[in-house]
Amino acid sequence: MLTDNRVAELLRTSSVEFRELEESHHRLDAELSELRKRHVLTPQEELMKKQIQKEKLAKKDKMAELIRLYRENEARSAAR
């Protein structure tokens, strides 16, 4: 059985959607890291931080879904 990392590698080469999600996830992670470097955040920055965290999680969930769907398709193909 393929590991999540191996499936992600395969999806990076075959799925534009997966690549875009991953790039966006990394960009959001960098933005979040910049906010975390500050000792005190303004209320607006706190809201931005929460929004980034939610968006980042949504991207990660979608990538996990694509990995799951890839596995299901592979299992169906192998069963034939």
Residue with tokens 């193909």: 77
Q: What is the separation of C-alpha 57 from the centre of its chain, rounded to a whole number of angstroms?
A: 7
pLDDT digits (tens, 9 = 90+) for 31-70: 999 999 998 999 999 999 999 999 999 999 999 999 999 9
Quick one: pLDDT at residue 2?
Answer: 83
What predicted TM-score, i.e. pTM, was given to this entire model?
0.88
At residue 39, the 3 state secondary structure works out as coil
